Chain A
């Protein structure tokens, strides 16, 4: 953001390295011009679909269904009817998203808190407590990232519905959860599935804390729980925030886990399930789909935009540093 014109990396125009020949100067100008145009085209293509959805969601039903959203600019008609209908509508086809919205919130909060707490504890143990087999456990947890969710679904569902029995002896009774209680299943599943990545990311941060600090604390007689609570937790707060946003987006946007463990009813299913259903059965009811999609997008967008900095940091910790 220091130079006046958008130019390609490494060619930042300084007085000393201006191309001397006329040809060179023209080529350089062309290069930066092409780069600018291409990047603007990409930015437009990436933004336009969402923008179109956003505009559409405020247009009256007959308008959405008969004219393109771009006619909004020549013939602006504005209504909140779609949102009213999709959130609070009475008929079964209207969406009733308000109720599903509550479900999404109820599902998300514990599904973020539990894995964060467990992963922080585990990451600390794997990084700073000496015990035999530590490295193997870490490698094992890392490797679990490769198990596709799909592999765990059928048996985990049976675990909930049939319990565990070994040779006719019931080790754990079936959970037999109904209605609202099924939230517990969803929390449980999300927590399990999030742990490997969470531990991996947090471990990267925790293990980079200065060794001197830890040893000084040990010498002063602090126990592991004390070090964890008073030294480590405050220091890794940024990392926890980063992963918290990660996990929030992931849980809020999830469809597969919710579809299988929450069922499709309005007692427990989150918005994604309902939207997917609406897209399937009422694929041409654009006034509901557009406003519904926007309702489901708006919370993650707010979280994302306000906490983007942390989110990016979490992303980079996991992928670049390794």
Chain B
């Protein structure tokens, strides 16, 4: 045993500080919101009394006051959020754009050189292509698997259990998932007993064991399997809910018309769940663009498996090339924008209907 409680004490003290800060900030804010308006109300009352004593009141000024108080409330409710978002997201995002036009140490302006570098370096082009493969395959296959499964287990016995089996990987960290799958892909030399399931299966079928994670382009596909494994559960849950929401009379009418299950799927189920389908594909696409943990844990980006998000980490935090890292981050941002605009337009259309 080597677990010294004394070593952990400072951390727990920090946790205590954190909790105290939470109580003070949130409690303080609510208290402030309670006390300040009361004070204003009392003052207004006092002034009204004073005005009533002195002469006729100024009606216009009084009519506007409640509205301004409302604005004040809104401000206080939003204050922490707006501050945090400015410091944590808005300003950093703007700064990253600026940094992407500067050199590695952020000392001199280099114009578009970092962006030129993006498309001229063979390794980086490889990274961009890999990302493209990820973002095409993962949403497509994860959604298809999720949809198939949702349709197939719908109304089946043990539906709840069957669904939670697929959904479970959602709770596992990408790091954990990568280790799980690295174990599946594990390799031992020919003739030795295999410990990785995949190689064992290959051997059972009379093949030779392979070093799966070191053979491009196969290794990228095998990493993609990991993300599909994680995301299919998400797709399945959302689509399953959408399927259950299809009005019963539509299904009934189709059935009276004598459609086959196949036609039912293509002509009733699929069109009815189209909005949910779009949301799932979009959400998974965005998640896929940002994937970092899997590549880092499984291959560390070696053997031609790197993607934009992890190359950005390498450039900015390992090689100290802040400019190039920032350019990659901005490029990632640019890739995400059209997807999100598409989603917003869809949402709006949905609301109008």
Contact = CB atoms under 8 A, between A and B. Distances in A.
B109 interface: no
A192 to B, nearest CB: 2
B137 interface: no
A147 B93 contact: yes
A106 B89 CA distance: 23
A147 B183 contact: no
A276 B85 CA distance: 29
Nearest to A316: B241
A109 interface: yes
Contacts of B347: 322
B91 A114 contact: no
A280 B93 contact: no
B18 interface: yes
Given A146-B333, A151-B92, A192 B178 contact: no
B84 A195 contact: yes
A8 to B, nearest CB: 5
B153 A6 contact: yes
B77 A122 contact: yes
B329 A151 contact: yes
Contacts of B61: none
A11 B264 CA distance: 9
Interface string A168-190: 00000000000111011001110
A237 interface: no
B179 to A, nearest CB: 4
Contact of B1 (A68, A88, A113, A293): A88
B170 interface: yes
A117 B26 contact: yes
Interface string A138-153: 0001111111111111
Dominant SS among interface residues on chain A: helix
A236 interface: no
A50 B169 contact: yes
A129 B279 contact: no
Interface in B111-166: 145, 148-149, 151-160, 162, 164-166
Interface string B55-85: 0000000000001001101110110111011
Nearest to A267: B11
B33 interface: yes
B305 interface: no
Contacts of A28: 261
Interface in B166-182: 166-176, 178-182
B148 A99 contact: no
**Interface residue tally on A, bucketed by range:** 35 or more
Dominant SS among interface residues on chain B: helix
Given A3-B155, A6-B153, A156-B88, A114 B81 contact: no
Nearest to B289: A148
Contact of A52 (B148, B151, B184, B283): B184
B280 A319 contact: yes
Contact of A280 (B30, B82, B300): B300
Contacts of B221: none
19 contacts: A6-B153, A6-B157, A8-B264, A50-B169, A68-B195, A88-B3, A102-B12, A131-B71, A131-B73, A147-B89, A148-B332, A154-B95, A155-B95, A253-B176, A255-B173, A286-B195, A319-B280, A319-B283, A322-B275
Interface of B: 1-3, 7-8, 10-15, 18-19, 21-22, 25-26, 29-30, 33-34, 37, 67, 70-71, 73-75, 77-78, 80-82, 84-85, 87-93, 95-96, 99, 145, 148-149, 151-160, 162, 164-176, 178-184, 186, 192-197, 200, 229, 232-234, 237-238, 241-243, 251, 254-255, 260-261, 264-265, 268-269, 275-276, 279-280, 283, 286, 289-290, 292-293, 296-298, 300, 309, 312-313, 316-317, 322, 325-326, 328-330, 332-333, 336-337, 340, 344, 347, 350-351
Given A69-B195, A286-B183, 16 more contacts: A1-B157, A3-B156, A8-B264, A105-B15, A121-B81, A129-B73, A146-B333, A147-B93, A154-B322, A159-B87, A184-B14, A192-B85, A256-B313, A308-B164, A315-B237, A320-B238
